[in-house]
Structure 1
Amino acid sequence: MDPLPQPNDNTDLLTAMLAGATAGAFQTVATYPFEYLKTSAQIQNSILMSKPPATTMSFRPMYTGCTALAIGNALKASTRMFLFNSFSDFMATENGTTTAPRVVVAGMMTGFVETLWVIPFENIKTRMIENNLYKEGMRMAVPKVVAESKLSSSPQLKTTKRPGNSPEAIFAVPKTKAISESRLKAIEYYSKHPSTKFSTIIKEIYHTQGLSGFKQGSLITIFRQCMNSMVWFSAYSSLQQVIDPNRDSISELELLGMGFASSCAVVATTQPIDLIKTRMQSKNYRLFYRDAMTCVFKVFMEEGLRKFWSGWFPRLVKVSCSSSVTLVTYEVTVKGIDKLKSMKPFAAS
């Protein structure tokens, strides 16, 4: 869980935004292999997967999609500094104080707004990881979408099995939701040539799904982020009240333990939400699930309850480390910017 700035932070806005963007990007790069492992584990569906991806010892593929997420987190972290202070002032009492419950609410409000910036980049990241799994050999029983006019004039959605032993199915799309010929060609092309580069993945999403492809899973992503903030700050505040309400005698080791325990609470309670978010941001989620409730039902019935916590360990490592990495990078960047601002290279010696 990324830390939020203190309400009484006197750092100027420009420095805070630059330091926040740097910290967000660096934290993403430092912990991204765990994000890749988590997302790839959530994407793989043992029921529909006819061939698993090949295991490789190379470290480079584990940074597929890192650029997209780094940009999104940099935008998110840079705006967090301004948003949290604004919401803290808004939630403050008449005498200007901010209680622990109000801090939690301010954190939730911040998480809601900042998530809006990162949703398109989350979709790009998930698509790049999924395409990389296809390039590594993963094969899924993906339905083949065709225009409804080619199969039937019935307005109802029909499903017919392909001849032979192929696991694919032909899904007839109703006329009201007919897919254009150009989009069908794009879907067919990119299914054979999956993109794993930042520039080409944007073209793939736009050509196959339009602008709506960049906002897949928006509601579930916002809900996850709000739950992350609520659970983390609630657990952290509760532990602080138990150990030392005044925070006068809390050691650095205790602070580290509080942060790790709060991260465990986040992963334990929000991992199922994170899995549904990943599935809803996959390229073929409408053919497999159509909506979030169908996704929840199918995952439970076909893959079991344990699947909802798939990828929990890499996410726990990432969540536990990200706050420390972000905080250290932020402080170092602020000090560096302040030092640069104090230098006068053109002053007379």
Structure 2
Amino acid sequence: MESKPASGVRSAAASPSVTAKRKDKPLFSLIAGTTAGAVEGFATYPIEYTKTVAQFASKSGEKAPGPITIVRNTLAKDGFIGLYNGCGALVAGNALKAGVRFLSYDHFKSILKDDQGKLSGPRSLLAGLGAGMMEAIFAVTPSETIKTKLIDDGKRQVRKYPSGLIPGTAAIVREEGIRGIYRGLFPVMMRQGANSAVRFGTYSSLKNFVAGSTRPGQSLPGGVTFGIGAVAGIVTVYTTMPFDVIKTRMQSLEARSRYTGTLNCISVTLREEGLKAFWRGATPRLARLVLSGGIVFTVYEEIMSLLDSRTA
């Protein structure tokens, strides 16, 4: 589901008989991943909206609004539906992102396993990094750019773009070309690579530890999977937050006139707003990734189990 982010990691501590029942079929990973991503994206979108608005650069001398203020102002201006402004882009992108993420991770995982079929912590981090880079290129950058521009545009008195996903995307492409929806690619790749590496590594390590110490040779119940995924989300937020802030600013409507590139954006943000600005929006992102990690891992594992049982 960030993020907003996720893994189909099966326990390396599982017995051969149990491992054999879980088939790393690419089609299964794709189906389970896209479904989990779509469910997670829609369920947590109001939190994502709040985080994105909080990350937009503040005017000189103006205090950045807090999450409660953002929600209150949005409800007063556009009603509850305003909290879902740009939702279509994120849900579609999240579904594609999760599909690419799980498919890529399982592919890299199969390459990096040792002779005993196990995946060490460092190799799990490497597989996650590769998966994050793939999802950044093929799914996250265009969907996040469109979502960010539509949210930014929605704050204006007179909108520049239509609010819907398809007409809004068409308008952005007409004005800026394909490059317009790939703005901020480098910080997105850095964020997604770090996100997936930390998230996969944390989830894999915790899952292997819990499965090996409490349920050797057995699959974990949904509640435990949700909890492990939530903890992985917490770790991910605080280690990758600066990438997320820079990504949002590079994809805003004023980015072309305000920043000359990613490094300039980092320099301007640090000079004008200080180090704390790189963790702006951490609270709503934390709330979203805790839920995201729990939802996406749980939905993924359940769907994979269902698909495996139907082909057993």
Q: Normalized per residue, which structure has more strand?
A: 1
Greater mean alpha carbon deviation, residues 274-283 or residues 260-269:
260-269
Once the 2 structures are TM-superposed, how far is the Cα of residue 235 of structure 1 from its aligned partner? 4.4
Amino acid at match of 2:190: F
Amino acid at match of 1:28: G
Amino acid at match of 1:33: P
Amino acid at match of 1:197: G
Task: Indicate the percent of aligned positions where both proteins have the same amino acid.
Answer: 32
- Pair 1:86 & 2:107 matched: yes
Specify the alignment match of 2:31 in structure 1: 18
TM-score normalized by the length of structure 1: 0.71
Q: What CA distance in whole angstroms lies between the structure 1 residues aligned with 2:116 and 2:107?
A: 16
- Pair 1:330 & 2:300 matched: yes
Q: What CA distance in whole angstroms lies between the structure 1 residues aligned with 2:202 and 2:88?
A: 32
Q: Is the 8 A contact 1:34 1:317 kept in 2?
A: yes
Q: What CA distance in whole angstroms lies between the structure 2 residues aligned with 1:285 and 1:261?
A: 33
Counterpart of 2:266 (choices 280, 290, 296) is 296
RMSD over equivalenced CA pairs, Å:
3.2
Q: What CA distance in whole angstroms lies between the structure 2 residues aligned with 1:192 and 1:330?
A: 38
Q: What CA distance in whole angstroms lies between the structure 1 residues aligned with 2:276 and 2:225?
A: 31
Q: 1:49 to 1:282 in 2, by over 3 A?
A: farther
Q: 1:133 to 1:267 in 2, by over 3 A?
A: same
Q: Is the 8 A contact 2:58 2:64 kept in 1?
A: no
- Pair 1:215 & 2:236 matched: no
Amino acid at match of 1:4: S
Counterpart of 1:101 (choices 122, 135, 146) is 122
Q: Is the 8 A contact 1:46 1:303 kept in 2?
A: no
Q: Normalized per residue, which structure has more helix?
A: 2
Q: Secondary structure at the match of 2:60?
A: coil
Q: Secondary structure at the match of 1:84?
A: helix
Q: Is the 8 A contact 2:135 2:192 kept in 1?
A: no
Counterpart of 1:282 (choices 237, 247, 252) is 252
Q: Is the 8 A contact 1:72 1:117 kept in 2?
A: no
Q: Encode CA deviations 1:184-222: one digit per residue, 9 max, x unaligned.
A: xxxxxxx86333221222222222211110110101101
Specify the alignment match of 1:70 in structure 2: 91
Gaps of 5+ in 1: 136-190, 343-349
Q: 1:208 to 1:105 in 2, by over 3 A?
A: same
Q: Is the 8 A contact 2:23 2:308 kept in 1?
A: no
Structure label with greater radius of gyration: 1
Q: What CA distance in whole angstroms lies between the structure 2 residues aligned with 1:56 and 1:37?
A: 9
Specify the alignment match of 2:15 in structure 1: none
Q: 1:328 to 1:224 in 2, by over 3 A?
A: same
Greater relative contact order structure (CA < 8 Å, 6+ sep): 2
1:1-349 counterparts in 2 under 5 A?
1=3, 2-6=5-9, 8=19, 9-10=22-23, 12-47=25-60, 55-57=73-75, 58-118=79-139, 119-135=141-157, 193-236=160-203, 244=209, 247-249=212-214, 258-334=228-304
Once the 2 structures are TM-superposed, how far is the Cα of residue 339 of structure 1 from its aligned partner? 8.2
Q: Secondary structure at the match of 1:46?
A: coil
Q: What CA distance in whole angstroms lies between the structure 2 residues aligned with 1:56 and 1:121?
A: 22
Q: Is the 8 A contact 1:25 1:73 kept in 2?
A: yes
Q: 1:341 to 1:27 in 2, by over 3 A?
A: same
